[in-house]
Structure 1
Amino acid sequence: MSFTELLWELVYELESHIRLPAVDLPGWDGGETIPDLPTDPQQAARALRACWGLGDGPIPHLVRLLESRGIVVTVLPFPNEDSRKLDGFSTARLPTRPVIVLNDERDDVYRHRFSCAHELGHLLLHSEAHPGDVQHERQADAFAAEFLTPAARLTGSLPTRVDFTILGRLQQTWGVSLDSLLVRCRELGLHTEAVSGRAWRRLRALRAQGLLPCTSVQGFPGEIPVLLQRAYEMAQRKGITAQRLADELHWPADMVLKLLAQDPRPDLYLGLAPSTAPAP
């Protein structure tokens, strides 16, 4: 059984006890009937922003936004050799709700956010999964870039010359990588091929010098999935334990806990006995 199938079974079981947010994803055939978005990636990104009332500014908490729209976002708990090559994958073909699975081994919040937006693009644009399809990957990238950094709002802020001070500020404002911003400079016609080449060489040099370390996802709570954990916590308050879920699913309990991003190991508490030493 694939990871997404295991995840779906767990989500289905949780939903028999806890009501999760309704799915709000235009065109998703398991939710309400909503007109499909345009097939052009950039137009689809702008249409989704309009549908969700996001305006054209930065999206500060992308993962939490998707979870609030009923999309299950999770981190792969046991990556294998093949999955380590991926930043993420997704499916809209499960019966109850769409799923996005992210690989957090690289622990880079900007890459993490772009991967999430990229998979959102796949959910909206590609009803049939074709892993590795070059055209689909480019379309998902184009969707993610426009969804996270709308051209109409971003273009006036981008430097026409290579200026990593300005790009660094934009990185923090928009929550995207310097790589993504350099690509936007080129595709929006602000950098010539020669200027773009110099920019990429400079970026590689800065990284080689250790001047641009990755920014950990852990410092951004809004980018860490919590939907399944919160659902499990609510279930626990109703007396639904991990062991009960495991019994209902015919799984070992530690698998349930791993999929819920819970540590299956018991906690060790060290108590301190009252001090008998005389006061100084």
Structure 2
Amino acid sequence: MTDHTTPSPFTTSTTARRPGAPQPSPAAVHEAFDPARLTQARMLAAMTKRHLADLLGVTPAAVSQYEMGATTPRTDLLPRLAEALAVPLAFFLAGRPYARLDPSAAHFRSLRSTRAYQRAKAIALTEQAWELTYALEKRIQLPPVDLPGFAGGEVHPGTELSAEPAAAARELRSAWGLGSGPITHLVRRLEAQGIVVFTPQRDDDLRTVDAFSTSRLPRPVIVLTPNRTDDVYRHRFSAAHELGHLILHGEANPGDLDQEREADKFAAEFLTPRASIGPDLPARADLPALARLRETWGVSVHSLLYRCRELGMLSDSAASRAYQRLHALREQPGFAPEPLTGYPGEQPALLRQAFTLAGDTGLTITQLARELAWTVPQVRRVLGHDDQRPVLRLLTQA
């Protein structure tokens, strides 16, 4: 599967940039305190109410009252609150655009293996990805949302695809003009259709959080976490799986196992259409042949074996033996995972490229941080900008 960097799909808007405001006083924050921002900051810090209460010298009930808006933290507590949660004091001010996302509205792939605080942090990061998108969209014209069935879609408003997963996958391929062959640069193609694809940086708090998606924000969002495995083939299937959720389950309540199966069926047909992949599949469990197909179609050998079984080309017993042989070859060339770094077209670029274009109009990360009331490092993290400064390492001799 070849890959290269795709061109930018953005154009510059004439919207003027507003300069960032200076930090407010604790008294000003007290007067315009936003309880929802406290909850968001606590989720971003993966901190319980009890832990935060201990840091502030108050009770957990007091923190609950703050977050419900029943009471407001005292003026003298506000700087300590900002320090404890590692946010600027202005973060707690009301008035900034905020699309709050209920964790129950996101399609998580691994509910059983993740704890509530981990999902809450992932959701808070997703909210921030939308806030950053909104701030950039005031300056840059992003690709219009072209997602049939999405309420906020700008290209196919009100149009819905088939409820049957495989049929919906074929219809979407047709609507997007993808033909019937392999799909290259899948993630960049999703972004070109107006979908925000966000990959948080590696984080111990998110190590068990797998991919998830939501259509409850003004733009559809797919989150592809990097913590489970560094494998471009699994990454692509996860992206197609979440696209299936957006297409099939936009208004449905997440968490249904049948929905996960439907999203898998959508992903398999979207990446490897039956009519196209069928003639290419070997008549027996020929693993070297499947490894070559892996390179062509951009899906794992494991997925191709499942496809063979699904299409009736392998019996259950033959597939089981093939899976065992595949497991023994998992570190061999042609079967081992391939790092995502080798495939720029499978890595999100929408936010980074939008910021680069906005930078041509004079926007800096510092100004963006002030506008969002974030720290500069947090803006860099959500943008996906690595810190380019060299690391000073001091060696000590025992």
Common topology (TM > 0.5): yes
Q: Please list, as runs of the form range in 1=range in 2, the aligned pairs for 1:52-91 lying within 5 A after superposition.
A: 52-81=176-205, 83-91=206-214
What does the per-residue CA deviation read over 1:82-117, in whole Å, with 9 as the maximum and x for residues that have no partner? x3223311111112x111110123110000000000
Residue 40 of structure 1 corresponds to which residue in structure 2?
164
What does the per-residue CA deviation read over 1:41-98, in whole Å, with 9 as the maximum and x for residues that have no partner? 10100000010111110001101111111111121225344x3223311111112x11
Q: Please list, as runs of the form range in 1=range in 2, the aligned pairs for 1:70-149 lying within 5 A after superposition.
A: 70-81=194-205, 83-95=206-218, 97-105=219-227, 106-128=229-251, 130-149=253-272
Q: CA RMSD in A?
A: 1.7
Q: Please list, as runs of the form range in 1=range in 2, the aligned pairs for 1:227-266 lying within 5 A after superposition.
A: 227-264=350-387, 266=389
What does the per-residue CA deviation read over 1:107-143, in whole Å, with 9 as the maximum and x for residues that have no partner? 1000000000001001111124644421111111110
What does the per-residue CA deviation read over 1:17-52, in whole Å, with 9 as the maximum and x for residues that have no partner? 111111111111012314100111101000000101
Deviation of 1:227 after TM superposition, in Å, equals 0.8
Deviates most, 12-21 or 85-94: 85-94
Deviation of 1:266 after TM superposition, in Å, equals 3.9
Runs of 4+ aligned residues of structure 1 deviating over 6 Å after TM superposition are: 208-211
2:155 matches 1:30: no
> Structure 1's 18 and 178: CA in aligned 2 closer, same or farther, altered over 3 A?
same
> Secondary structure in 2 aligned to 1:22?
coil
Q: 2:373 corresponds to which letter in structure 1? A: H
> Structure 1's 118 and 78: CA in aligned 2 closer, same or farther, altered over 3 A?
same
2:316 to 190, 193, 203: 193
What does the per-residue CA deviation read over 1:163-205, in whole Å, with 9 as the maximum and x for residues that have no partner? 0111011111100001100110011100011111111111111
2:350 matches 1:222: no
2:276 to 146, 153, 157: 153
> Secondary structure in 2 aligned to 1:90?
strand
Residue 296 of structure 2 corresponds to which residue in structure 1?
173
The TM-score normalised by the length of structure 2 is 0.64
> Secondary structure in 2 aligned to 1:73?
strand
Q: 1:27 corresponds to which letter in structure 2? A: G
- Distance (Å, rounded) in 1 between the aligned partners of 2:179 and 2:284: 28
> Secondary structure in 2 aligned to 1:27?
coil
Max Rg structure = 2
Deviates most, 164-173 or 32-41: 32-41
> Secondary structure in 2 aligned to 1:230?
helix
> Secondary structure in 1 aligned to 2:162?
coil
- Distance (Å, rounded) in 2 between the aligned partners of 1:201 and 1:263: 39
The TM-score normalised by the length of structure 1 is 0.90
- Distance (Å, rounded) in 2 between the aligned partners of 1:180 and 1:160: 16
Unpaired segments ≥5 residues, structure 2: 1-39, 41-123, 392-398
Deviation of 1:237 after TM superposition, in Å, equals 1.1
